[in-house]
Amino acid sequence: MAKRKRPKERSPLPRALFFDEAADRARSCGSKDAYPSEQHARATAAMNGMADALNVYRCRYCEFWHLTRRREEYID
Ligand SMILES: [Zn+2]
C-alpha cells in the first residue's frame, strides 16, 4: 500500500468560529460581581435603580449569577 502524504495539520474550524474562552470568561465573569441566586442579582439591580437597565444571567463559569447591561452582551 502506497504511503500517502499526511495532510498538513489544519484546524477543523475557520478562525472566526473559535471561541475565545479566556476573553469571554473575563468579560462575562471575572469582572463582575457574583450573586448566589437570580433573586439576589435582581434585588441588587433593583436596589441600585437598575432593574430596567440590567439583565441577570447564570454564569457558565462560576455557576453564580451576574448582572449585565442590556444590549452590552448577548446571552445564548
Ligand atoms: Zn461567573
| Percentage of the chain lying above the pLDDT 90 cut | 54
d(CA 67, CA 28): 9
> Which domain range does residue 35 map to?
31-76
pTM above 0.85, yes or no: no
Residue 7 has pLDDT above 80, yes or no: no
Q: What's CA 23's distance to the chain center, in Å? A: 9
pLDDT mean across residues, the chain = 84
- Dihedral of the CA atoms 11, 12, 16, 18 (nearest 10)? -80
Q: Is residue 42 part of a domain?
A: yes
CA 64 to ligand 1 centroid distance, Å: 6
Give the whole-angstrom CA distance, residue 59 versus residue 28.
7
Residue 46 lies in a domain: yes
Q: How far apart are CA 40 and CA 22, in angstroms?
A: 26
3-state SS assignment for residue 18: coil
- 6 pLDDT band, cuts 50/70/90, is confident
70 CA from centroid of ligand 1 (Å): 17
- What's residue 2's pLDDT? 66
